[in-house]
Amino acid sequence: MEQPALVEGPRQVTLKEVRSNPKVRKLIDGANEVMRAMGYTEHGHRHVGVVSSITAYIMKGLGLSAREVELGQIAGYLHDIGNVINRVDHPISGANIAFVILNEMGMDPAEIAPILGAIGNHEELVGTPVSNMSASLIIADKSDVHYSRVQNPIIETFDIHDRVNYAVQKSRVEMRAEDHAIELTLEIDTKQATVMEYFEIFLSRMVMCRKSAEVLGYKFGLSVNGVYLE
């Protein structure tokens, strides 16, 4: 008698597998091309790699398990994949794309679920920090402001987003357990953009970072050119 085929159960999909998945790589490339065509800053492998790393840094600082941290890294790496369709509602479309990919890879739905919640809630207009993973990803995403993200090669045609990102020479997230603070430190070349212009486009994002830090039991602070703002 022919034996029935064995059905494989869920397995622990790793960040390395997700990063090297050909579909993931092509979709992130495609997402960044859409953003470039729409005049946005870089949303490709550099950005998602930075967000993935900072998410892990914050989650490790919370003392979460190694597997929770890895799931957070996966969420960070996939969080902007929905831009391959459109900037509008990209967290929702991105969560749907992420589900298809992770499900195909055999990830346990119980592990997929928090990833989808984090991806679907990372934008300030409609999202909210719904978990430790979600809050960590939000802070990581909104903290990635840097001159290397500017894709427009013509300085004379920079919009305010290009100017502000181009002006930021250094950005760093520091998590201090001793005073339960998460601080974003920026060095801005004020010849390229003013600090006021930074707040003009990033104020709502900083408010979302503050709310996210509160979910984690921390306070959020911003240091710009040596001036600390709490």
Q: pTM, whole model, 2 decimals?
A: 0.93
What would the CATH number be for the domain defined by 15-229?
Answer: 1.10.3210.10
Which pLDDT score, from 0 to 100, does residue 151 have?
Answer: 93
Alpha-carbon distances of 21 from 15, 66, 99, 105, rounded to whole Å: 10, 21, 14, 9
Q: Which residues of the chain have pLDDT under 50?
A: none
Per-residue model confidence as pLDDT tens digits over 201-219: 899 999 999 999 999 999 9
H/E segment holding residue 176 = strand 168-176
Residue 105 near residue 13, CB atoms below 8 Å: yes
**Residue 150 pLDDT:** 94
Buried b (16+ CB within 10 A) or exposed e, 161-188: bbbbbbbbeebebebeeeeeebbbbbeb
